[in-house]
């Protein structure tokens, strides 16, 4: 019984190794330096970090009403010099418009209008030569160093948001930029038809790139968990229940292993990994999608392992045993061919079946060696049995 148990364990171990070798060869992509550069491969190290649960919403950028200033003249007249246009940036005190008064004089008296605040000229309502009245604004200047980002959020979600709630904001016109906003307050009323209410976020605009009425996407942080294994969304590939990432091989240079993963929550930037990865694994973030279509590797797994370890390996990447060495030598030398078709099929057999055949042969040998032989005197007659002569 003990021998049978050991034999069974050996058989299972060999099958497991064979399956792992075959799986590794099928899921490993090895590139040369040119391939890595062409696919622009980039990796990040997996680590445990804070994971945010976010709410997605759409909205727009708006100017802060208290940071908009109109420029007008205190006297009636006409514009004789207009020094700015929409889109120009001005500083407080800059001379921007010159007005000729209607009061008599030769020449008529003129006055100069100066910018009341620093900012962007967002509107010009008049043109040179046009008559103006004190009640009409000549132009509008908006300070855009800080703006409002207004998101339309469902009413039932608004109750979970408090002043100070953060949001990651992307603007369609600036796809490479990322902005961080802080919730100030909600709008004064909800929209009955859509069931949403305005959530107003204060958003710094230090670069001055944001403009009123730009479309924005919001990822509003609703909660946060610590010590969660997560990877960037760009690393995750596949669909539905077939999700995977490419992990950089610790041993082989420019080798990437297709690794199935189980995912949890997904937010605007990261994917929670429930199983399949460990901290310190390096996953491909840029070029992962291209690796899915890389097809055959530019370098075989055997070549990469030979170069990394300094000795030869089998075609499937496993260690080269004497049996595999003999098989490889036979293939190189053309091999011995038999007339029957069965041998041809055996040569084409997969590594798995070769392992299996070897183990079955080993089991047969062990069975023959351990089989108990019958005692030598089993067929001898008992000493007490009388011979035919004695009976006579």
Q: Is it the case that residue 15 has pLDDT exceeding 90?
A: no
Environment class of 137 (CB within 10 Å of its CB; exposed 0-12, middle 13-18, buried 19+): middle
pLDDT band at 18 (very low <50, low <70, confident <90, very high): very low
Supply the range of the domain harboring residue 42: 11-54+227-302
The yes-or-no verdict on residue 121 having pLDDT over 60 is: yes
Rounded average pLDDT over 267-290: 92
In a domain, 318, yes or no: no
Residue 280 lies in a domain: yes
Query: Count of CB atoms within 10 A of residue 350's CB?
Result: 11
Boundary (domain end) residue, out of 253, 276, 302 = 302
**How many structural domains does the chain have?**
3
Under the banding of pLDDT at 50, 70 and 90, the label for residue 338 is very low
Q: Are residues 138 and 153 in the same domain?
A: no
CA 59/CA 157 separation, integer angstroms:
16
Instruction: Indicate the range of 98-112, 198-212, 370-384 predicted with least confidence.
Output: 370-384
| 342 in any annotated domain | no
Same structural domain for residues 114 and 155? no
> Which residues have a Cβ under 8 Å from the Cβ of 117 and sit 6 or more positions away?
67, 69, 92, 141, 143
Query: Residues 171, 274: one domain?
Result: no
pLDDT at 16 over 80: no
| The pLDDT value given to residue 72 | 92
pLDDT at 358 (0 to 100) = 65
Give the pLDDT of residue 91: 96
Report how far apart, in Å, the C-alpha atoms of 197 and of each of 153, 158, 171, 268, 365 are.
Answer: 6, 8, 20, 22, 79
Task: Give the residue-averaged pLDDT of 60-67.
Answer: 95
- In a domain? residue 244: yes
59 and 187 within one domain: yes
pLDDT digits (tens, 9 = 90+) for 21-47: 455 666 788 888 888 888 889 999 998
**Three-class secondary structure assignment of 279-298:** CCCEEEEECHHHHCCCCCCC
239 within domain boundaries = yes
DSSP state of 149: E
For residues 11 and 363, give the distance between their C-alpha atoms in angstroms, rounded to a whole number. 8
The mean pLDDT of the chain is 80
Residue 131 has pLDDT above 80, yes or no: yes
pLDDT at 297: 47
**69 and 31 housed in the same domain:** no
Q: Which of 179-183, 266-270, 279-283, 288-292 has the lowest mean pLDDT?
A: 288-292
Q: Is residue 32 domain-shared with residue 44, that is, in the same domain?
A: yes
How many residues can be counted in the chain? 392
Mean pLDDT, range 116-135, rounded to an integer:
93
pLDDT greater at residue 155 or residue 355: 155
Q: Do 115 and 69 share a domain, yes or no?
A: yes
Of the pLDDT bands very low, low, confident and very high (cuts 50, 70, 90), residue 369 is: low
Residue 73 tokens, joined? 């003249």
For residue 336, what pLDDT is reported?
A: 46
170 in the same domain as 59: yes
Per the DSSP assignment, residues forming a β-bridge with 121 are 141
More confident residue, 202 or 35: 202
Which tens digit of pLDDT belongs to each residue from 224-272? 999 999 999 999 999 888 999 999 988 888 889 999 999 999 998 999 9
Residue 182 pLDDT exceeds 50: yes
User: Does residue 102 share a domain with residue 77?
Assistant: yes
Q: Is residue 29 part of a domain?
A: yes
Terminal C-alpha separation, the chain:
51
Whether 108 is in a domain gets the answer: yes
Specify the pTM.
0.64
What pLDDT does 106 receive? Answer: 82
Q: Which of 176, 205, 225 is at the close of a domain?
A: 225
* Residue 250 pLDDT: 83
Are residues 83 and 121 both part of a single domain? yes
Residues 293 and 258 in one domain: yes
* E strand segments, 242-364: 242-248, 255-260, 262-266, 270-275, 282-286
CATH code of the domain containing 294: 2.40.420.20
**CATH code: domain of residue 135:** 2.40.50.100
Domain boundary among 204, 225, 246: 225
Judge whether 127 lies within some domain.
yes
Of 305 and 286, more confident: 286
Q: Is 199 found in the same domain as 59? A: yes
């Amino acid at each position: 019984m003990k021998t049978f148990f050991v034999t069974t364990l050996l058989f299972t171990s060999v099958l497991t190794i064979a399956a792992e070798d075959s799986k590794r060869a099928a899921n490993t992509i090895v590139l040369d330096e040119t391939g890595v550069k062409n696919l622009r491969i980039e990796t990040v190290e997996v680590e445990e970090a804070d994971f945010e649960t976010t709410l997605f919403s759409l909205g727009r950028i708006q100017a802060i009403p208290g940071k908009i200033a109109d420029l007008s003249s205190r006297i009636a007249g006409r514009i004789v010099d207009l020094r700015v246009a929409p889109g120009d940036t001005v500083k407080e005190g800059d001379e921007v418009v010159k007005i000729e008064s209607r009061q008599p004089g030769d020449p008529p008296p003129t006055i100069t209008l100066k910018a009341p605040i620093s900012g962007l000229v967002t509107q010009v309502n008049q043109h040179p030569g046009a008559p103006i009245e004190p009640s009409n604004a000549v132009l509008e200047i908006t300070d855009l160093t800080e703006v409002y980002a207004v998101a339309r959020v469902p009413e039932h979600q608004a109750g979970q948001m408090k002043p100070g709630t953060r949001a990651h904001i992307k603007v369609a016109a600036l796809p490479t930029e990322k902005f961080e906003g802080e919730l100030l307050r909600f709008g004064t009323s909800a929209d009955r038809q859509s069931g949403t209410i305005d959530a107003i976020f204060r958003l710094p605009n230090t670069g001055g790139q944001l403009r009123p009425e730009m479309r924005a996407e919001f990822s509003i942080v609703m909660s946060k968990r610590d010590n969660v294994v997560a990877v960037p969304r760009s690393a995750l590939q596949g669909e539905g229940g077939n999700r995977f990432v490419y992990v950089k091989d610790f041993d082989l240079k420019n080798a990437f292993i297709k690794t199935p993963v189980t995912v949890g929550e997904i937010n605007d930037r990261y994917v929670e990994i429930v199983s399949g990865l460990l901290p310190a694994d390096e996953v491909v973030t840029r070029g992962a999608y291209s690796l899915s279509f890389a097809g055959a590797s530019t370098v075989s797994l055997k070549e990469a392992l030979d170069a990394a370890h300094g000795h030869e390996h089998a075609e499937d990447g496993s260690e080269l045993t004497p049996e595999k060495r003999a098989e490889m030598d036979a293939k190189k030398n053309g091999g011995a061919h038999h007339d029957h078709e069965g041998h041809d099929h055996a040569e084409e057999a997969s590594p798995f079946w070769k392992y299996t055949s070897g183990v079955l042969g080993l089991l047969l040998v062990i069975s023959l060696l351990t089989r108990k032989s019958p005692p030598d005197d089993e067929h001898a007659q008992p000493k007490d049995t009388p011979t035919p002569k004695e009976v006579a």
